[in-house]
Amino acid sequence: MIDSVQHQVRWLRGIRVSRPWGYLGLIFTYGNITSLILMMTIKGSIFCWFLLAVTWIVRLIMGWIVGVKYLQDSSAKKYFWLVILRDLMSFTIWCYCFFGTTIEWRGLQFKLTKDGKIIPKAKDITEQFEFK
């Protein structure tokens, strides 16, 4: 689980550095969360309830179609109810990646620069690899 989260942090921070507008555009991939935020912001209009219900139902249907029907994954069927929690976790990681420039790869820590370079954070890493 921790390796998966570190991988996602590494990936998202890399996107944020290399394509900042694309990173911001990822908000549109989190329909469940954005519809929930809209619901809390507007405080329960009928339109927001409708939008929330449609978004969540479509997400669950797509999760079922892809995971159970096409991939025939028994885990997807068994843990289907975790789709919404996974979306929440993904959104949380996306928010977390707005801050910080450190990534971890193979147990080593690196810093991402604004121009997209990856710099080792410790001198022993530099000695272990020949970075130029």
49-80 per-position pLDDT tens digit: 999 999 999 999 999 999 999 999 989 889 98
Question: Do 75 and 132 fall into the same domain?
Answer: no
**Placement of tokens 């290399």 in the chain:** 18
Residue 126 has pLDDT above 70, yes or no: no
Percent of the chain with pLDDT over 70: 92
Residues 6+ apart with CB under 8 A from 73: 67
Is there a contact between 122 and 131 (Cβ–Cβ < 8 Å)? no
Question: Do 54 and 77 fall into the same domain?
Answer: yes
CA 58 – CA 103 distance, rounded (Å): 34
Question: Do 67 and 126 fall into the same domain?
Answer: no
- Give residue 62's domain range: 2-99
